[in-house]
Amino acid sequence: MYALVEALYPICRSITGSGVRQSLALIGKHIPIKVTEVRSGTKVFDWVVPREWNITDAYIANASGERVHEFRDSNLHVLNYSIPVRKVLPLETLRSHIYTLPDQPDLVPYRTSYYEERWGFCMSQHALDALPPGDYTAVVESTLENGSLTYGECVLPGESDDEVLLSAHICHPSLANDNCSGLALLTLLAEELAQRRRRYTYRFLFAPGTIGAITWLALNEERVGRIKHGLVVSCVGDGGGPTYKKSRRGDALIDRAMMHVLKQNAAAPVVRDFSPYGYDERQYCSPGFNLPVGLFQRSEHGTFPEYHTSADGLGLVAPEHLEHSYQLVRTAIDILERDRLMINAQPKCEPALGARGLYATVGGDKNAAQSNMAMLWVLNFSDGEHSLLDIAERADLPFATIWQAAERLRGAALLREREPSRG
């Protein structure tokens, strides 16, 4: 995962353009990707797909022709979606086109102007303060013209047409945590899930933030009813959190699964109620769709000092944090795949577990007590009304422990799955 973060990090991405296609090509080396191009000017609900933006160079040069600030050093150095410009102007005029962070004077901000035509640069406050008075040449070699918006999908069919949507935004440039980490996690998760049997169909969506999700929903409105669970993933490579933001519904299975996983596997997890601000969960959870889609992060967006700055570099992301994030999401998917309503085949009093070889007969096994208690919990609440996740929550035991107990009991013919309702 970290190697993929490293590969994605240098690419200049935006909501349209060649950077998105280049990033999808990298992801496509791991998993099959279907790329969709949506023409500029296409109406998508209340929005319109914008013109496509691409950039080849940008710089500020002093009167001697020396480049004092350039895009080639970092793709954060230019205002993302900056229109082309070539002008000579005094420093005082140039300042109005330069974005800095006075409160973080060593850092370069990430700024965009997707829907208002302007040009500009981003630099550290210290770098701006160091520029002497005089005339400067400002150059942005970019194009903004009719083209398309690009998104990619990897669909892994399952036993059911019901879908799990896993979504990550692909529009941010050199920001390692937000969101090269999310792209890498979902890519490697798809690669693993492709090798296993799947109850659900999994749809991995890599799309530009906001306009990409809106475009996908507009073009796929007839199939969104298949989405039974969903998760947006971003900022999953740093050492904060982890943080889960619930879906608009608040009690969807994905909400319960993620909260259970965090409670069992994280020291100080943070759970937020839904709010209509954040990443693309707010599009999936808009009232016209109200899909069961939550947001998983480590540090919450907008709360860590590196957010949307040049400090969100490769050093902010660590392999061990990526691994932990991966395992949390993977464990939640296991719950979605394995949660069932079960029926106790011998509900009148406890069955003789020892006689069936289900109780450990040799002492010293530190896991035996938990395993035995899990079987008792499963037997007592397998009444066709409580799912395995219900039981895990009530018993305050890891879902995997409850599921393993259920498998042992089913193997001993003491448990069976409740038949689905036909009404």
Residue ranges of the binding site for Zn(2+): 172, 178, 308
DSSP 151: E
With contact defined as beta carbons under 8 Å apart, do 262 and 327 qualify?
A: no
Largest CA distance in the chain: 92
Classify residue 218 as exposed, middle or buried by CB count within 10 Å of its CB (0-12, 13-18, 19+): middle
Alpha carbons 396 and 399: distance in angstroms, whole number? 9
3-state SS, residue 98: strand
- Residue ranges of alpha helices (H) inside 317-359 are 319-338
With contact defined as beta carbons under 8 Å apart, do 4 and 30 qualify?
A: yes
Alpha carbons 216 and 415: distance in angstroms, whole number? 42
Q: How many residues does the chain have?
A: 423
Q: Does the bond joining 179 to the residue before it have cis omega, within 30 degrees of 0?
A: yes
Strands 121-122 and 98-99: parallel
Beta bridge partners of 163: 201, 227
With contact defined as beta carbons under 8 Å apart, do 140 and 119 qualify?
A: yes
Task: Give the residue ranges of the annotated binding site.
Answer: 172, 178, 308
Select from 144, 18, 165, 12 the least CA-distant residue to 78. 12
Residue 260's identity, in one-letter code, is H
Residue 322's identity, in one-letter code, is L
